Amino acid sequence: MSGTISQWSVPVAVACAVAVASLAACGDEASAPENRTVRGPQVAVGAGMAWSEMVFDSAEELQELSVVFTEGALSNLPATLPNTEFIIPMPTQAPATVYNHIGINWQPNGHPPPMVYTVPHFDVHYYLVSMSARDAITPADPAFAAKAVKAPAAGEAPPSYVGDPQGVPRMGTHWSDPTSHEFHGSPFTNTMIYGFYDGRMVFIEPMMTKAFLETKPNETKALKVPAKYPAPGRYPTSYRVAFDATAREYRVTLLGMQTRS
């Protein structure tokens, strides 16, 4: 009898230890903090819908900010100028961030510079200012021209970026990267633009062609980022343009968020 007990005691003990470890692991997994995703209201775009989506960690730190639009949003769009802006609100249930709203500008004929961005594309503006602040960016302001071309302070523009010679009402001046592929013989597919007005960053803007989206991409790019931002908050170090074949949705996402001041 004692030999039988000795024979089975080791494997039973091992099995018990494994079971306890497994339960402990399950307990750790169950108690691990989870990210939460919040969505904004849907807005009609073309024959589809679009909305904002924010991912926060357990400390309510922003991890990702996306604009999501269904496959139908690429069809039934206006074919001629003027460009059409779709305002995409932020989720009302989200904690406060530096992002106020998203403006998707559909450019059926593109925009300058010629032979670079003059193809049908989307400008996805993640605005750091309110709609009322945007409305104040107007030629009706006698100082509009001077404010539009006012350069940001040292370190507040991304490395190698340069501003356009003039501003755009309700936006400011677009700053682009002359080292980007579209300025060196490759067709424009997607790129990152920043916007400034009166020396202050107004928006972060991934741009992408309709033709690029129709390839159903999944592409992530690192960003050139400034040393300083206009307000403390979470800012991206990369962005992704991707198509979800299961949901039949496109996502344009700011990610790699870092807390900056």
What number of H helices and E strands is found in the chain? Answer: 4, 16
User: Which pLDDT score, from 0 to 100, does residue 31 have?
Assistant: 52
Same domain? 26 vs 40: no
Amino acid identity of residue 9, one-letter, is: S
SS3 call for 5: helix
SS (H, E, C) 126-143: EECCCHHHHHCCCCCCCC
Same domain? 6 vs 47: no
190-197 and 173-176 beta bridge pairing:
antiparallel
Q: Per residue in 131-150, is it b (16+ CB within 10 Å) or e — as a string?
A: eeebebbeeeeeebeebbbb
Residues in the chain: 261
Same domain? 82 vs 27: no
**CA 31/CA 23 separation, integer angstroms:** 12
Same domain? 8 vs 24: yes
Domains in the chain: how many in total?
A: 2
Which pLDDT tens digit goes with each residue over 157-172?
999 999 999 999 999 9
Same domain? 117 vs 24: no
Cβ distance 128 to 98 under 8 Å?
yes
Same domain? 143 vs 155: yes
Half-sphere exposure in the Cβ direction for 85 (13 Å, CA): 11
User: Which pLDDT score, from 0 to 100, does residue 110 have?
Assistant: 83
Same domain? 55 vs 23: no
User: Which pLDDT score, from 0 to 100, does residue 33 have?
Assistant: 64
Element (DSSP H or E) covering residue 238 = strand 238-244
Same domain? 16 vs 141: no
Which pLDDT tens digit goes with each residue over 47-56?
999 999 999 9
User: Which pLDDT score, from 0 to 100, does residue 4 have?
Assistant: 41
Residues in Cβ contact with 58 at an 8 Å cutoff, skipping those fewer than 6 apart: 33, 34, 35
Same domain? 4 vs 45: no
Cβ distance 195 to 242 under 8 Å?
no
Same domain? 146 vs 22: no
**C-alpha distances in Å from residue 228, one per residue of 126, 155, 254, 261:** 17, 6, 18, 7
- For the chain, residues with pLDDT lower than 50 are 1-29
Same domain? 158 vs 247: yes
Range of the domain at 50: 36-260
Same domain? 40 vs 109: yes
Q: Per residue in 180-210, is it b (16+ CB within 10 Å) or e — as a string?
A: bebeeeeebbbbbbbbbbbebbbbbbbbbbe
Edge-first strand order for the sheet with 84-89 is 84-89, 101-107, 121-127, 200-209, 190-197, 173-176, 162-163
